[in-house]
Amino acid sequence: MKRLEELVQELPPELQQEVYDFARFLLETKAKPRRKGKLRLNWAGGLREYRDRYTSLDLQRKALEWWGD
């Protein structure tokens, strides 16, 4: 089985550029380590003023409406 470098060298220059661009895309979107750490809850209590107007069921229904389900 050929190594990746050998396969890329067999391609014409414009396709080599596509391989390079795709590899960069993969690195930027798939290979970056995800941020690890504690979950921040600094938003907690941010909707306190609405608790008398809406129930959790109301909010769930509204979310489903927004998502189109």
Does residue 69 form part of some domain? no
pLDDT at 59 over 70: yes
CA distance 66 to 69: 8
CA atoms of 9 and 25, how far apart (whole Å): 20
Question: 68 in a domain, yes or no?
Answer: no
In a domain, 13, yes or no: yes
Number of domains in the chain: 1
pLDDT single digits (tens) 27-50: 988 877 776 778 788 888 888 888
| pTM (2 d.p.) | 0.45
Contact 19, 8 (CB under 8 A): yes
Q: Is residue 37 part of a domain?
A: no
